[in-house]
Amino acid sequence: MPSWCKNTLTIAGPEDERLRWKEFHGTEEGELTFSACLPRPKELEEVDGEALLDWGRKHWGTGWGPSLSTWTDAREVWFQTAWSPPVPWLKTMAKQWPQLGFHLAFQMEYDECRPHSISIKDGDQVTLWDAETASASPKGEC
Rounded to whole angstroms, the Cα distance separating 127 from 77 reads 20
- pLDDT tens digit string along 48-98? 678 888 999 999 999 889 998 999 887 999 999 998 999 999 999 999 999
User: Considering the domain boundaries, does residue 139 fall inside one?
Assistant: no
Of 55, 52, 53, 72, which Cα lies nearest the Cα of 63? 53
Rounded to whole angstroms, the Cα distance separating 108 from 6 reads 6
Rounded to whole angstroms, the Cα distance separating 118 from 27 reads 25
User: Considering the domain boundaries, does residue 136 fall inside one?
Assistant: no
Rounded to whole angstroms, the Cα distance separating 63 from 121 reads 25
Tell me what pLDDT residue 139 has.
42
Q: How confident is the model at residue 138 (pLDDT cuts 50, 70, 90)?
A: very low
Rounded to whole angstroms, the Cα distance separating 27 from 24 reads 8
User: What's the CATH code of the domain at 42?
Assistant: 3.30.70.1270
Rounded to whole angstroms, the Cα distance separating 66 from 132 reads 25
| Residue span of the structural domain in which 124 resides | 4-130
- pLDDT tens digit string along 24-42? 998 888 899 999 999 988 8
Average pLDDT over residues 12-17: 94
Length of the chain: 142
Q: 53 or 9, which is more confident?
A: 9
User: Considering the domain boundaries, does residue 100 fall inside one?
Assistant: yes
